[in-house]
Chains A and B, each alone.
Chain A
Amino acid sequence: MKNTLLLSSLFTGLIIASFSKAADPIPTEDDYYKIVKFEIPKDVVLEAGSIELTADNKLFVSSRRGEIWSIENPFAKDLAKDAKWTRYAHGLHEVLGLASKDGWIYATQRGELTKLKDSNGDGKADIFQTVSDAWEINGDYHEYAFGSKFDKDGNVWIVLCLTGSFNSNSKYRGWCVRVNADGTFTPTCSGIRSPGSIGFNAAGDCFYTDNQGPWNGTSSLKHLLPGSFQGHPDGNKWFDLKEAKLAGPKPETPKSGSRMMIEAERIPQLMPPAIYFPYKKMGQSASGIDFDKSEGKFGPFQNQLFVADQTNSTVMRVHLEKVHGRYQGACFPFRKGFGSGNVPVMASKNGHLFVGGTNRGWGSHGSKPFALERLDWTGKVPFEIHEMRAKNDGFELTFTHPVDPKTAADVASYKMSTYCYIYQSAYGSPEVDFTYPKITSAVVAPDNKSVRIVIDKPVAGHIHDLTVAGVRSKDGLPLLHPEAYYTLNYIPEKAK
């Protein structure tokens, strides 16, 4: 019965595919960025937790089942033929962070940061040394630990999920901590709920993704400024510990049912999310983070962030700017269709984005139980909103191709709504406090690469949800993704 079903669905699928090809001339994501699958060896269950590329171009991938695989030739055109897989380690506790330094691999396990070394050169780690186990776990499955790469000071940053994703019942649950390669342990920020990953931007500042739940209206990208409070108060109990003093004074407890920016005004440590990913519109479980460090080898998005989503099996794109000294910016759809539930991403200098996935325990649209994929740029530049910047009275949009000035200057080409979330102890939040600003003008720059839109009027603390359905490129193409979501925590001062 199953075979029949598969055959019939394949058949239907073929018909649809060929039909749409003939009828639809508009290019798709696949024309610009191709998903290349790694052939995972038979019998290996690679539920990817983290990815690291070492200096000798070996790709290390850790799994939730506690293995670390090293893959030679990860850039090979024919991965099935040329990628060489070796099991570097096994038996570790759900590794969700990999970094490398001085010939050691650093693995963030649930209960500790461990460094591993292959001392006899047989390709397999034989030293497993604990760098720090200064936080605790109690057997609750939600107590995950996600680890970053090394920062410039030699620290791995680790975000520790709450117990049951609601409470902090073990030491430093709900915290971001830093562990130096020399073992020094520094509690850094409280307020974490249920992270999906952690990574840096091009400036070396650390960010993590947190997920919809208590005190988190939707999933978001947050800046881990040392001493800041990331919004969920349950971990604040650990401020009483001596070493936690390093993270500054304990923040006040936010008022449930309020709004983020009202509370941020009152609680100086409270860091509003740099980016909200509106639920469903963008994703439902934000995860892996990395930035484009390819200097153009991966397309036009140099230094922008790529953030994965586990439920939707997508990678989103983020452009950040600093307003009032804090990060905020816009997110855009980028690429969908990955094989499993995306968790780690890793961008390489030579212009590839590695994406790993698992959907064990949490469903994803990519239906494979696990996957490892590489996103390659085809060399063609899609017509996209390149950057979206806040202005005192609206936004400035730049594009990856010159725009058709006529459609770009037409205010009817743009549609905007704004909303925010209830900042509350209950799970998630609907979108609330809607406004529908009027686009009063759209002025195209002389080089046709940017448009300045003025709106009546921007609302601080709201997501500005913009659809640019009408703008065409000079070649007459619509935007590959007309949607943009700008998290306007702060409105910039009027330019002098």
Chain B
Amino acid sequence: MLFILAPDYYCPPRNYKTMRKNISVLALCFFITAVNTTQILAADASKRPIVPGFERFSQGKEIDQAQLGLLLLGELNCTSCHAPTTTTKGLIQAKQAPLLDKVAGRIKPEYFESFIAKTHEIKPGSTMPQVSLGNTEQEKQATAKALAHYLAQQAGATEKLIFDPKQVALGKTLFAQSGCVSCHAGRDQAAKEILNVNNSVPLGALENKYTVGSLTNFLENPHQVRPSGRMPAVLKDKKEAHAVACYLLQTAKTSPKSAGVLKFEYFEGSWTKLPDFTKLKANAKGIASDFDVEVAQKVNNNALRFEGWFKLQSAGKYTLHLGSDDGSKIWIDGKLIIDNDGIHPHTIISKTVELYKGEHKVEVGIFDGGGEYSLTVEIESNNLPRQPLSGICALDEKTAEGTTTVATAAPAAAPGQPEVFKLDAALATKGRALFASVGCANCHSMNENNKRIPAVVQGPELLKLRPETGCLSENPQGKSPDFALDAKQKAAIALALKNLASMPPSQDSKALINQTFLSLNCYACHQRDKIGGPEDSRNASFVSTQPEMGDEGRLPPALTGVGAKLNPDWLKLVLEQGTKVRPYMLARMPKYGSGNVNHLIKPLGEVDTIEPVEAIQFADTPAKVKTSGRLLVGSKALGCIKCHTFNNQKAEGIQALDLTSMPQRLKRDWFQRYMLDPQPFRPGTRMPAPWPMGKTFFDEILEGSTKKQIEGIYVYLSQGSKASPPEGLSREAIVLVPDKEPIIYRNFIEGAGARAIGVGYPEKVNLAFDANSLRVAMIWQGAFIDAARHWRDRGVGYQPPLGDNVISLPAGPTFTTLASEKENWPAITSKEQAGTFISYTTDALGRPSFQYKYADVMITDFPTPTKNKEGGFSRAFTLESKTPPALLYLRAAVGTKIEEQKEGWFLVDGEYKFRLVGAKKPIVRESNSKKEILVPIVFENGVCKLVQEYSW
């Protein structure tokens, strides 16, 4: 388990149950792990503030150092202490520090003191400086403590979500693929931050800072506390945020509750249904931390009854998921909600109920008849990701904490662990005064009676700052905060300060755009004017659901000329809200919030220009122009729909950007120019030139004019979702119906492999032979197959049978030699192992007979439809060999249940019947916990013939 991470501190792994009970020991191990990590971080990484734009571009020459200095002045929020003049104010895009209202609802109270006291050790790379806390160690400690208590007093509501191990995998995928690692470092197998990844905004030991609930809230809406948009909103809802929080905090001590939250009773007895507990006397009673059958004293023939309380902060619809093996029931407030009774494998039944606000009593009963034993009880609502119900349960009505609570609960202190945080009101009052006097209030907003606590610390004015003094000195002394700036950062700031005095009061559009791209780290994902774009070290984290689209399917688009490309309204939407027009691209355009990006729209439109295309006069009526546009887009002309989706309807080939979104997104002039020659606009695009060298292939459409044709398409697509679908869009079924002769269909057939040979017979029975594993893989009745998947477009994927009663015949070879009758039937691991596919020949009626070879035995396998009324097959086998092997068998059937019936028929799993004609007496055996019927093959004069008939 997780404590393997701290090999120096041995936690005795007895068994899972003991571990659960010894959760405090476990928590101790986690704590030690965290401390170790912190130490490593402090030792290995430089402490300088990490501003990704600076880190990346201070190495090269693409962006000048003075501009990077301006970036630092903004990102380090220098102007909150050093007043800018009216002429310099507009030149710095200051980053607002996190808002601290109700901060104790978000950050663990234990975290404050250490972070304030040793900022750069606790979080190397932080842009928060080490503020001056006093002159002596003692004084410093006292100041940090008082501030911590003041912050801890700022209670706030936060969701009490608990760690759910089932969400970790999703969280990992989202973290790795949706864009988090564009700015942050990736994580190793144990989800630990990989250190020293270039230009990564460090996350530090999140588990010391956040609970699952508070991190979920932050990830869902980062702008609420960090309004400057440096951390954009990537995740689309609470469920995703919860998953990422679980992933990031999986090493944390926020594992399921250590304390008992449920009463349980244990009963012994043999049942096939849940017993009436009121009539039974419990064999044992106790307290459990979860709805978990681990508390049962044995497996088989016992039952458990759990009882507890939970509190809901709001009334509404809640879904309960009850899963068990064997039967179980759940009652809420004495009322039966889910009946999952009877003997069965783990089965989950879900039900949505209306629950009122307040306390609810929950009771769960389960019994185990034998074999596997399991129980899961989960709750879910619109606001509550699916999670174990025990997370919000308590032993009695009064202690039920509910789904929302004030975050003051701290885990019980384990021996050797620092004391649990206890709020001291007197210290907090002292801290309130310090909050302003040490300078916290300069950067952080904190409201008191709806008024922000004013800053009292004032540094020299910005333009009066001198290099190598104050914050910029070698070792900042006295009141100066210490940013741990390195020499390069200081030099850049000095250069910027020097230039500031002579700069005009507002930046030109180009510089403004560049500055914003640096501060919001747009360059991490996008290239613009040859600057930025995914770094080599992060490139591979950009992935696509359609690898065949190449880089343009996975890498965010270059933004060179984007102001000339996108309509301002669309640009605004993209920047503010994030959008998803490229469904195949897994990296997402995140939400930056209106205040942080609105100022980009106008300058982008000014800087990025394109030669306008003159207005076009059509000879045709507007309706006819649209008709021509529709014709061009369709399969009879340019066939744009072969690669682009149309109003969410799938394309034939790759699924490129939706055509109906184009005019909404794209400016007309850009569209005209791009269509003429896509490559200069998107180097390396797979978009072919529809009018190569400007020439049209369709002289008869819109007077054969390229410009008119492009305009026609634009006009047509401007109807958006109201545009009537172009020709060739819909994929109608192509049902193959055998009439006089069988139809053969070699293709990717689901259940029969990539080299399937499907055969549909006029008698309305069908089969699929797998030419790789050399077996009849499936037989079915009724309709044969729909070829549209393979015949209407590029032919992506496997097609299942179209008809009914599909019987999958056993996987593995049809014939094999066994060392003894006890030996298991082999699985086929390679094509070669199965034997050799030789051929098929068709008879006068067009029916194929398959030949394949196993060792030296040539096998002819000739299935023909039988005449019985349900439809069936008769499969005639002829085996020939000059050197017949001993102990060769046909495996006639495999099933959980095979019943012998009249006239030699066997019924397999109640699904189909078969019988053997002309065969030796079959062997019925149990193998791999299934029933098998083997037929010994005995050759006479080198030949063996037998028939297997199927009916179903």
Give residues in A with beta carbon < 8 Å to B.
1, 5, 8-10, 12-13, 16, 45, 64-66, 90-94, 109-112, 126-130, 133, 136-139, 141-142, 164-167, 213-214, 279-281, 284, 311-313, 359-367, 369, 426-430
Cross-chain contact B684 with A430 (CB below 8 angstroms): yes
Contact across chains for B838 and A130 when beta carbons are under 8 A apart: yes
Contact of B794 among A8, A133, A313, A360 (CB under 8 A): A360
Chosen A-B contacts, 15 in total, with CB atoms closer than 8 Å, are A5-B631, A12-B700, A13-B699, A64-B795, A91-B745, A93-B746, A94-B795, A110-B754, A133-B755, A213-B550, A284-B689, A361-B793, A362-B642, A364-B639, A367-B639
A9-B700, A430-B683 as given contacts; A126 in contact with B548, CB under 8 Å: no
| B354 smallest CB distance to A (angstroms) | 47
Whole-angstrom distance between the alpha carbons of A31 and B746 in the complex?
Answer: 44
Within 8 A of A (CB), among B691-718: 692-693, 697-701, 703-704
CB contacts under 8 Å to A, within B296-333, are: none
15 further A-B pairs in the complex, CB-CB below 8 A; given A12-B703, A128-B841, A280-B689: A8-B624, A10-B700, A12-B704, A13-B699, A93-B747, A126-B843, A129-B838, A164-B548, A280-B679, A361-B795, A362-B653, A365-B697, A426-B550, A428-B550, A430-B683
Q: Cα distance A16–B698 when bound, in Å?
A: 12
Indicate whether B808 reaches chain A with its CB closer than 8 angstroms: no
CB of B692 within 8 A of CB of A280, answer: yes
Q: Are B839 and A130 in contact (CB under 8 A)?
A: yes
> Are A16 and B704 touching (Cβ within 8 A)?
yes
- CA A130 to CA B547, docked complex, whole Å: 32
Contact pick for A141, options B635, B642, B679, B795, CB 8 Å: B795
What is the CA–CA distance of A12 and B700 in the complex, to the nearest angstrom?
6
Instruction: Determine whether B75 belongs to the interface, using a CB cutoff of 8 Å to chain A.
Output: no
Interface residues on B, range: 35 or more
CB pair A363–B755 under 8 Å, yes or no, is no
Task: State the Cβ distance, A286 to closest chain B Cβ, in Å.
Answer: 13
Query: What is the chain B residue whose CB lies nearest that of A117?
Result: B841
- Asked if B670 CB lies within 8 Å of chain A CBs, one says no
Q: Is the CB of B684 within 8 A of A429?
A: yes
Chain A nearest CB, measured from B505 CB (Å) = 41
Residues of B within 8 A of A93 (CB): 746-747, 755
**Cross-chain contact B638 with A363 (CB below 8 angstroms):** yes
**Which chain A positions have C-beta within 8 A of B688?**
280, 284, 311, 363
Q: Closest CB-CB distance, B784 to chain A, in whole Å? A: 11
Interface residues of B in 192-227 (CB under 8 A from A): none
Contacts of B624 in A (CB 8 A): 5, 8
Q: In the complex, what's the smallest C-beta–C-beta distance from A69 to chain B, in angstroms?
A: 16
Q: Are A426 and B628 in contact (CB-based, < 8 A)?
A: no
Are A427 and B642 closer than 8 Å at their CB atoms? no
A166 in contact with B548 given A13-B699, A363-B640, A365-B697 (CB within 8 Å): yes
Which one, A109, A139, A280, A367, contacts B746 given CB within 8 A?
A: A109
Shortest A436–chain B CB gap in Å is 19
Residue of B nearest to A165 (CB): B548
Q: How far is the CB of B175 from chain A (nearest CB, A)?
A: 25
Chain A residues with CB under 8 A of B697: 313, 365-367
Provide the bound-state CA to CA distance between A126 and B699, in Å: 47
User: How far is B553's CA from A214's CA once the two chains are assembled, in angstroms?
Assistant: 13
Contact B842 A126 (CB under 8 A): yes
Complex contacts, B693 vs chain A, CB 8 Å = 280-281
A27 vs B99: C-alpha distance when bound (angstroms): 77
Q: Indicate whether B394 reaches chain A with its CB closer than 8 angstroms.
A: no
Q: How far is the CA of A94 from the CA of B548 in the complex (A)?
A: 20
Quick one: which of B755-808 are within 8 Å of A by CB? 755, 757, 771, 787, 791-798
Instruction: Give B760's nearest chain A residue, CB to CB.
Output: A91
Cβ contact within 8 Å between B746 and A427: no
> Which residues of chain B are within 8 angstroms of A429 by Cβ–Cβ distance?
684
Name the CB-closest residue of B to A138.
B754
Q: Is B341 an interface residue (CB 8 A)?
A: no
Instruction: Please give me the residue from chain A that is nearest to B789 by CB atom.
Output: A141
B743/A91 in contact, CB under 8 A: yes
Q: Residue of A at shortest CB range from B798?
A: A139
Q: A360-B794, A369-B635 are in contact. Are A427 and B842 (CB under 8 A)?
A: no
Shortest CB–CB separation between residue A282 and chain B, in angstroms? 9
B652 contacts partner chain A, Cβ-Cβ < 8 Å: yes
User: What residues of chain A lie closer than 8 Å to B550, measured between beta carbons?
Assistant: 166, 213-214, 426-428
Query: In the docked arrangement, what's the CA distance between A92 and B747, Å?
Result: 8
> Roughly how many angstroms separate A313 CA and B798 CA in the complex, as a whole number?
30
The reply to whether A367 and B636 form a contact with Cβ atoms under 8 Å apart is yes
Q: CB-CB < 8 A to A164: which residues of B? A: 547-548
Q: Is B551 an interface residue (CB 8 A)?
A: yes
Q: Which residue of A lies closest to B749 (CB)?
A: A139
- CB within 8 Å for A127 and B744 given contacts A360-B793, A361-B794: no
Interface membership of B9, Cβ < 8 A: no
Q: Please state if A361 and B642 are interface contacts (CB–CB under 8 Å).
A: yes
In angstroms, Cα B746 to Cα A139, docked, is: 12
Q: Would A363 and B639 be within 8 Å (CB), given that A66-B746, A93-B746 are in contact?
A: yes
B792: nearest chain-A partner, CB-CB: A360
Given contacts A137-B755, A165-B548, A367-B637, contact A130 B837 (CB under 8 A): yes
- Residue in chain B with minimal CB distance to A136: B831
Complex CA distance for A143 and B942, rounded to whole angstroms: 41
Give the docked Cα–Cα distance between A375 and B867 (Å): 52
Cβ < 8 Å to A, chain B residues 634-659: 635-640, 642-643, 652-653
Cα A311 to Cα B638 with chains together (Å): 10
Assess the B699–A16 pair: CB atoms within 8 A.
yes
Return the contact of B701 from the options A9, A91, A360 (Cβ within 8 A). A9
Contact between B754 and A111, CB atoms less than 8 A apart:
yes
* Leading 5 A-B pairs by shortest Cβ distance: A91-B744, A363-B639, A427-B550, A361-B794, A13-B700
Q: Contact: B653 with A112, CB < 8 Å?
A: no
Considering the chains assembled together, what is the distance between the CA atoms of A114 and B242 in angstroms? 55
* B285 at interface by CB-CB < 8 Å: no
Contacts of A137 in B (CB 8 A): 754-755
Contact B795 A166 (CB under 8 A): no
Structural contact, B839 and A92, CB atoms closer than 8 A: no
What residues on A are CB-neighbors of B635 within 8 Å? 359, 363, 367, 369
| A contact residues around B704 at 8 Å (CB) | 12, 16
Q: Are B744 and A90 in contact (CB under 8 A)?
A: yes
Check B684–A428 contact: CB distance below 8 A: yes
Q: Which residues of B contact A363 (CB under 8 A)?
A: 635, 638-640, 642-643, 688
Q: Would B652 and A427 count as touching, CB distance under 8 A?
A: no
B contact residues around A360 at 8 Å (CB): 652, 791-794
Question: For the complex, is B113 an interface residue (Cβ under 8 Å from A)?
Answer: no
Give bound CA distance, A10 to B636, whole Å: 15
Task: Kindly state the separation between the CA atoms of A1 and B727 in the bound complex, as whole angstroms.
Answer: 13
Q: When the two chains form the complex, which single residue of A1, A127, A136, A213 contacts B841, counting CB atoms closer than 8 Å? A: A127
Q: A369 to B701, alpha carbons, bound, how many Å? A: 19
Chain B residue with Cβ nearest A20: B699
A5 and B627 within 8 A (CB): yes
Q: Which of B817-860 contact A (CB under 8 A)?
A: 831, 837-843, 848
Given A16-B699, A280-B693 in contact, is the A111-B755 Cβ separation under 8 Å?
Answer: yes
How far apart sit A45 and B684, CA to CA, in the bound complex (Å)? 34
Question: How many Å lie between the Cα of A369 and that of B698 in the bound state?
Answer: 16
A428 to B637 alpha-carbon distance, docked (Å): 25
Contact of B686 with A by CB under 8 A: yes
Residue of A nearest to B553 (CB): A427
Instruction: Tell me the bound Cα distance from A138 to B689 in angstroms.
Output: 32
Q: Is the CB of A426 within 8 A of B551?
A: yes
B547 to chain A, nearest CB (A): 5
Task: Find chain A residues with CB under 8 A from B642 CB.
Answer: 359, 361-363
Closest to B552 in A: A427
The CA of A363 and the CA of B643, in the complex, are separated in Å by 8
Give A9 to B699 CA distance when docked, in angstroms: 9
For residue A285, which residue of chain B has the nearest CB? B688
Closest to A127 in B: B841
A5 to B684, CA, bound (A): 36
Q: Which residues of B contact A365 (CB under 8 A)?
A: 697
In the complex, A279→B683 CA distance in Å? 12
Task: Give the CA-CA distance A311 to B620 in the complex, in Å.
Answer: 29
